[in-house]
Every structure is written in structure tokens, then in C-alpha cells.
Structure 1
């Protein structure tokens, strides 16, 4: 029978001994047993992980011997925190990030590695190690900066994955993208439950030019919020729209815009407005 021993070296608070069907949490200063987790699923490899962070000192161990469930236990306050359904196959390797906020997991298939948030179990990253054959992953480890994740197995290769943080986590939000002829891309928030007007979230200039007339905020041609059922009306407006003359409008042309009789020195101020689809 194998067993695992883990302790947080930097702060020297907890030491964990993992047996096949139980775990013992010790106070590392006097080796007193603080808590015992009994009747755990069969864990013949003694698979477990202990966070080294003082504020997020968590213990992770398999929650099942048939599927890849990860049990997270608060090793400081001595109570269960959460369970993460990580894989369909039993776990082969688990590891915490240095600050204890993330946990990486791999199953016995060895093809997919996932990274989860410890606080709520949200899946943050998924990496595919390979698809041609199953391997036995023996180790997962985060870099001290938490930007990289290393993986070793029973093959001749070691994989390093980069954990890139998305600049704006908008993938879980339903949005509408509208590209216009004036070179802008508009991103609207959509509420799939309530419906209603779509609010402008952000805009991007697609042609790379700088708006000389307005350098901050939305451009003058910013479209109004789109409402459901208005697409047909916009098509009708676009069909009825006339293109502006190629030479522009000459407002100093007396033939086109005659001067006022009451005040010959003042030209007519006749605005010219047209719409673009």
C-alpha cells in the first residue's frame, strides 16, 4: 500500500498523511492530530495535494474511485469546502497553484489537463496533452508565478502550458457584434432572458485610422440601441438612403444655397443629413 505525505514548507502549519481510505491532518509544530477524514474512497496511490499558501491552505484528494471528483478541504479551519467534478475517469494527478486559488487535475487517460478555481470550482483552463494514446501522468506543478503549468508522464516528453489570462472575460456573456461601413465594430450586450434594448458595451475602429473629429467616446455615427424586430425597418431605411455627392456640398455656392434677402451677408444654414446602413 502506498501513502502520501504533504506539508506546507514555507509556513509550517499543516502536515497531511494520506492512507488508502483515510487522511490525517497534523499540526506541524507539535505533530498533534487535528482532524481525521475517514472512509474516503479507495486511494491506493495515496494521491493528495496540500496548498503551501498560509491564507489558502487547502487539501485536495479524490472524491471517487470511479470518476475524477476532487474533494477540497480547508486544512486551517478543518471543514469541507467544495467538490469539483473534474474528469470522467479517475484522477491521476492534482496540484495547487502557489497561492492556493487554483488547482490543476489530470485523469488516468492522460489526454486532458484542466485548471479550476478553488473558490467556486469554475473551470478556468483546459489543455490537451495528446490524443493518440493514453499515458500515465505522474506530476503536475505550477511555476511560482502561476503563469505556467508543467506536466510529466511515463513518456519521454515534458509538457509546459502557459496560463494566459483573458483581458476581458466576455465569453460567458451573450453579445451582438455589428460592423458598419464607417469602419467601426460595435459590441452590444444582450439579455437572453429579459430581451429589450441592446446596450452598447464597447466599440473598435477596424480600419486603423484615428477619428480626427472625436478622439474620445463614441463616434458621431454611433448606432442607436437595437430593438428586437427592427431589422426590417433598417433594411427599408438603407434602401431609401441616397449616397452623398462625390464632391461634397459647397455651402458657399449661391446657386445652390442663395443668400438671405433680409441679411445678404448671412448665408443660409441648411443642414444636410443622410444615413448609412
Structure 2
């Protein structure tokens, strides 16, 4: 779902290289674009969608699905991507860079001639592979986590300087989410659930020896009465 609107971005299992835009108000597909490789992830704001492919990220305008920016990524890298979401915020796109543990940051505010973007800013964030990244809604802050899972770092996107370093512990752990807003609660002594702003539900179970693993994961979408439908 493109925010709280009647637009839905659809990728079918039998057509993983095709992205379609569905207008749920009119019950009809309005646009479609084909890629040369399967779509691995999507991140959307009301006017743009970032499509993660095998070795690049393409930014498309909504609702036309015309390409406005292109970011090259390392072949085989995790399908990570973040896009600032506030309408008045700079249209910042964050994704893993070619060097392990590094991240690239690009402003895709305006369409560029030939859909080729200027060079992104590269930030060295961690020593090991990135597994999570998240931009605040206004694009001012960036959070990153690596495959070691011991540290979460918060960055200023304007200065590219680290603001905070949050140490989770010394043992390796899998980090699944570093979203800016989330609700967490314990259902019992051994189980915790987490509902995130990006529309994901996580359930974690704690073992007797102190280890934790994710036992359930789902996407949820809920549309309220105050939705602004896009024509």
C-alpha cells in the first residue's frame, strides 16, 4: 500500500519482474513496468517508489511509474532500502554501498535527464555487512545495524556524522528492525511482540538460557476513515 491511499503496488509470484499499480477505488490496474531481474523489495512514499533489484535500485514516479533515478548496488547484497516519507522532506534514498558495512545516500528529489542520478554520498557505518537501515520520516536521521548485531548507530544525514551509538550487548544477535517508531509488549514471561510503523508484526520468544529468536513475522495493513484518496 502507498501510505494510507487507494494505491497498491503489486508484484505477483508468477511475474516477479513486473511491478503493477492498482487503484483500489476503481478496481483497476493503472500502470505496469517490467524489469530485467526479479524485484527483491519495495519502499514507497506518496510520489515515488524505490524498487530494489539484483544490482541496482530504481526510483519511479507515482502514478506513472516512469524512472526518475538510478542507484547502483553490489550484486548479491541484501535487499535493503530506505526512503524518507514526509511530503515536505528531501527525497533521500539510503541503501548499502559496494564496500562491506558502508551505505550510500542519494537525494532523488527531482527527476534527472536520462534517469541517471548524481553520485551518492558514501558513509562507512560498520565493519561487517549491513542488515538493517531506517530513515526518519523527515530524512534527518538514519539508523543502521550490522550482521554482528551488537551496535545500532544513529547518523545525521546532513553532516554524515554519527550522533549516537547504542550498544545492545557483546553477544552476536540477529537484528530484524530499527524503525523509528514501534510498540512493544510482553504477552507472557517468555514472549514479546513488536508492531512497527512500516506495517510489520514481530513475535519473539526467549529461551531459558537467555537467547531470543523471532518465532513469527507478518505484514499488516489497516485503512482508516480519514484516508486521503488519490485521483
Normalising by the smaller structure, the TM-score range is 0.5 to 0.7
- Name 1:41's counterpart in structure 2: 74
- Name 1:68's counterpart in structure 2: 101
Gaps of 5+ in 2: 1-37, 111-116, 183-195, 197-201, 207-211, 214-231
Gaps of 5+ in 1: 145-149, 159-277
Larger RCO (alpha carbons 8 Å, 6+ apart): 2
* Equivalent residue for 1:111, pick from 150, 168, 172: 150
- Name 1:30's counterpart in structure 2: 64
- Name 2:130's counterpart in structure 1: 91
TM-score, normalised with respect to structure 1:
0.48
Structure 1 residue 43: Cα displacement: 4.0
Task: Report the number of matched residues.
Answer: 146
Structure 1 residue 41: Cα displacement: 1.0
TM-score, normalised with respect to structure 2:
0.57
- Ranges of 4+ aligned residues in structure 1 off by more than 3 Å: 77-81, 152-158
- Name 1:136's counterpart in structure 2: 174
Structure with the higher strand share, 1 or 2: 2
- Name 1:6's counterpart in structure 2: 43
Structure 1 residue 37: Cα displacement: 2.5
Secondary structure of the residue that 1:134 maps to in structure 2? Answer: coil
- Name 2:164's counterpart in structure 1: 125
Structure 1 residue 124: Cα displacement: 0.3
Structure 1 residue 22: Cα displacement: 0.9
- Distance in 2 (CA, whole Å) between partners of 1:7 and 1:125 is 27
Q: Quote the RMSD (CA, aligned, Å).
A: 2.5
* Equivalent residue for 2:90, pick from 39, 52, 56: 56
